[in-house]
Structure 1
Amino acid sequence: MKTTIAEVGKFVGKEVTIGAWLANKRSSGKIAFLQLRDGTGFIQGVVVKAEVEEEIFQKAKSITQETSLYVSGIVREDERSPFGYELGITSIEVISESEDYPITPKEHGTEFLMDHRHLWLRSKRQHAVMKIRNEIIRSTYEFFNNEGFVKVDPPILTGSAPEGTSELFHTKYFDEDAYLSQSGQLYMEAAAMALGKVFSFGPTFRAEKSKTRRHLIEFWMIEPEMAFYEFEDNLKVQETYVSYVIQSVLKNCQLELHTLGRDTSKLEKIQAPFPRITYDDAIKFLHEKGFTEIQWGDDFGAPHETAIAESFDKPVFITHYPTSLKPFYMQPDPNRDDVVLCADLIAPEGYGEIIGGSERIHNAELLKQRIGEHHLDEEAYEWYLQLRKYGSVPHSGFGLGLERTVAWISGVEHVRETIPFPRLLNRLYP
């Protein structure tokens, strides 16, 4: 019976055949332990010299790391293994030998591993992170589909920018200027006026010369937009969505979280509703904590966000930022024109902002005024202004950065491990 590692639990006591790669091995005089992987998971194969032909045992001892194989054996339950099963190997067929595999079980430097990212992905740790990433994506689609959202795909090449062009990658679109998208939001607002509740999931690009553990040049964003949703409605969707994703990962990725050594008790506390603190109160709090250099009107850096997050065991919303700090499209607070109806969601444990969202301006004259104040080309935003001209309604949305969310949930330190092939300030290879 041909199967996969993930499915072996269905065949306890039976002989199966698995196509796999040799991740690692160790052997004594009479027994060989083969660590096998097939993409669906990892399992230990045991070859006992007294139970197989001499040729098979010698083959087990001589196989090199990352050689591809067909292995056959009896599936056994194994309480010592986090996976719960092992394979008593009866035969081995080599498909393709691997010679001098560069990533050995010893320690390697980060730059070496990044240079070999195409191979580093095969390791148990990276496999676990990618499986958690996949579960976050899967549960995201499930959540928004269950909530009646329609998936819409905004363009990656744009002629204008939601937040100005200072950090955008410029390119030529035949004889016009174009930019790689930093957000699909403006297009998603148009889609929300047609379809009510929409979400997108795609790559975004920031030409930001940052080397922090939270930043990538190319990253993936989940961006919902909702017609007839005001500020409070928006926050409820965000906290419900994040809670749903966390519970899905806890349910479906226990083995991967265990592999990464993640403290799941911290994740189990993540249930809506989430605490909130206004920007005004955040400034006061930071002053009390000794961050006396930050003044009202300054943006928060990583140390400030971390200090605020440490006071809570759930993600925390920081709301009502100064108008001067935020993009042109955010709706002013009706009671204060110096702050906007926005919120950043800060993850616990020092992982920083994972969501930025707001109610959007729905008054055409105010939006036109804001475009002028930000020195943007009104002609380029004519279509966006028209959304306020033809049946404008209150509407809201947000963007969740996938890689930061993967880093937080999986507990890895740097976002470079949370995307298959990271694009960093000095890295475009492989």
Structure 2
Amino acid sequence: MKTTISEVSKHVGEEVTIGAWLANKRSSGKIAFLQLRDGTGFMQGIVVKAEIGEEKFQEAKALTQESSLYVTGTIVEDTRSPLGFEMQVKDFELIHEAVDYPITPKEHGPEFLMDHRHLWLRSSRQHAVMKVRNEIIRATYEFFNENGYVKIDPPILTGSSAEGTTELFHTKYFDEDAYLSQSGQLYMEAAAMAFGRVFSFGPTFRAEKSKTRRHLIEFWMIEPEMAFMDHEDSLEVQEQYVSHVVQSVLNNCKIELDTLGRDVEKLEKVQAPFPRISYDEAIQLLKEKGFEDIEWGEDFGAPHETAIAESYDKPVFITNYPAEIKAFYMKPDPKRPDVVLCADLIAPEGYGEIIGGSQRIDDLELMKKRYEEHDLTGEAYKWYLQLREYGSVPHSGFGLGLERTVAWIAGVEHVRETIPFPRLLNRLYP
């Protein structure tokens, strides 16, 4: 019977066949230990010379790293294994012998590993990160589907920008200028006026010449937009969503988190509600922490976000930033027009901002004023203004960066490990 490593718990005491690759091996006298992987997980296969015969045993000892094979044996419980099971190998068939596999069990530098990303993905650590990423994606769809959201796909090629064109990739769209999307938000606002609650999940692009551990050129965003919801409503959705995702990873990725050495106690604390501080309070907190040069009106960098997060054991909302440093579409606070109804969600442990969100301007005259201030009077933005002309309502939304969220939940230092094939400032290969 053929099965997979992820399904062996259903076949204890049975003889099964698994198609696998040899991740590693070691031998001790008359026993060989094969570390097998099949894409669904990792499992040890025990080859005993007395049971398999001299010829087959020598063949097992000669197997090379990443060779592919069919392995047949009996599944038994093994409490020492992270999986909880292992195979007592009865026979195996070599499918393809791999020669001189470049990524060996020794240490390799990050550039070497990035050059071999197509192979590095096979390692237990990278496998675990991608499984965590997959669970976050699964839980995202689960959360929004169960809460009445409709998935809408915004275009990737656009004629305008959500937040200005200085950091966009430009291309020619026949005889017009076009850009790779940096956000689907403007289109999601249009969708929210048609469907009420919507979300998108797709690639976005930032031509930002940054080399920090938090930045990618191409990354994935989850962007919900909600009609008839104010800023406070949106904050509640954000903390419920993030809590749901974290708890889903804790429940469904125990082996992967163990492989990554993640401190799950810190993740177990991530349950709504989340603490909130205003931008004003954040400035004061930073000054108390030694950032004496920070002034009101300045945006926060990575060191500032990390210092603020250190005061909390959950993600923390920083609300009501100055209007002058935020996007044109954010609604001013009616009680204080110099700040906007917005929030950034800062992850604990130095992982920085994972969500940016706001209530959007719904007043036509105010949006016209913003258009003039930001020189958005061209035809490219006409349709967006019309959303305030025909049945405007209070509405809010946010965007979560998938890779930063994966990095935080998985406990990975650099976002280049959180996407299958990262696009970095100096990397377009493989």
Determine the C-alpha separation between the residues in 1 that align with 2:227 and 2:352: 28
Once the two structures are superposed, what CA deviation does each residue of 1:140-184 show, in whole Å capped at 9, x if it has no partner?
000000000000000000000000000000000000000000000
Counterpart of 1:270 in structure 2 is 270
Preserved contact between residue 368 and residue 378 of structure 1 (Cα < 8 Å)? no
Deviation at 1:257, TM superposition (A): 0.2
AA in 2 matched with 1:26: R
Deviation at 1:53, TM superposition (A): 2.3
Deviation at 1:280, TM superposition (A): 0.6
Instruction: State yes or no: 1:290 paired with 2:290.
Output: yes
Once the two structures are superposed, what CA deviation does each residue of 1:8-46 show, in whole Å capped at 9, x if it has no partner?
011111100000000000012201000000000000000
**Identity fraction in percent:** 79
Determine the C-alpha separation between the residues in 2 that align with 1:361 and 1:311: 32
Deviation at 1:374, TM superposition (A): 1.4
Determine the C-alpha separation between the residues in 2 that align with 1:241 and 1:187: 22
Once the two structures are superposed, what CA deviation does each residue of 1:273-328 show, in whole Å capped at 9, x if it has no partner?
00000001111111111101110000000010000000000000000000001010
Determine the C-alpha separation between the residues in 1 that align with 2:371 and 2:125: 46
Instruction: State yes or no: 1:104 paired with 2:104.
Output: yes
Counterpart of 2:54 in structure 1 is 54
More displaced stretch, 149-158 vs 361-370: 361-370
Structure 2 residues without counterparts, runs of 5 or longer = none
Once the two structures are superposed, what CA deviation does each residue of 1:59-95 show, in whole Å capped at 9, x if it has no partner?
1100100000000001010011111001000101011
AA in 2 matched with 1:125: R
Deviation at 1:119, TM superposition (A): 0.2
TM-score by length of 2: 0.99
Counterpart of 1:417 in structure 2 is 417
AA in 1 matched with 2:82: P
RMSD: 0.6
Preserved contact between residue 371 and residue 378 of structure 1 (Cα < 8 Å)? no
Preserved contact between residue 321 and residue 340 of structure 1 (Cα < 8 Å)? yes
Instruction: State yes or no: 1:382 paired with 2:382.
Output: yes
Determine the C-alpha separation between the residues in 1 that align with 2:321 and 2:79: 53
Deviation at 1:380, TM superposition (A): 1.2
Once the two structures are superposed, what CA deviation does each residue of 1:332-373 show, in whole Å capped at 9, x if it has no partner?
000111100000000000000000000000011111111211
Structure 1 residues without counterparts, runs of 5 or longer = none
AA in 2 matched with 1:138: R
Instruction: State yes or no: 1:206 paired with 2:203.
Output: no
SS in 1 for 2:224: strand
Determine the C-alpha separation between the residues in 1 that align with 2:122 and 2:326: 41
Preserved contact between residue 12 and residue 74 of structure 1 (Cα < 8 Å)? yes
Aligned length: 430
Preserved contact between residue 164 and residue 376 of structure 1 (Cα < 8 Å)? no
Deviation at 1:230, TM superposition (A): 0.3
Determine the C-alpha separation between the residues in 1 that align with 2:208 and 2:376: 20
> Map of 1:90-239 to 2, 5 A cutoff?
90-239=90-239
Determine the C-alpha separation between the residues in 1 that align with 2:315 and 2:102: 40
> Map of 1:26-105 to 2, 5 A cutoff?
26-105=26-105
More displaced stretch, 226-235 vs 52-61: 52-61
More displaced stretch, 39-48 vs 54-63: 54-63
Deviation at 1:379, TM superposition (A): 2.0
SS in 1 for 2:408: helix
TM-score by length of 1: 0.99
Counterpart of 1:367 in structure 2 is 367
Preserved contact between residue 372 and residue 378 of structure 1 (Cα < 8 Å)? no
Counterpart of 1:23 in structure 2 is 23
Determine the C-alpha separation between the residues in 2 that align with 1:285 and 1:23: 49
Preserved contact between residue 170 and residue 180 of structure 1 (Cα < 8 Å)? yes
Determine the C-alpha separation between the residues in 1 that align with 2:309 and 2:367: 33
Determine the C-alpha separation between the residues in 1 that align with 2:19 and 2:74: 15
Deviation at 1:237, TM superposition (A): 0.2
Preserved contact between residue 315 and residue 347 of structure 1 (Cα < 8 Å)? yes
Determine the C-alpha separation between the residues in 2 that align with 1:247 and 1:291: 34
AA in 1 matched with 2:373: E
Determine the C-alpha separation between the residues in 2 that align with 1:222 and 1:76: 42
Preserved contact between residue 59 and residue 92 of structure 1 (Cα < 8 Å)? no
Determine the C-alpha separation between the residues in 1 that align with 2:195 and 2:235: 20
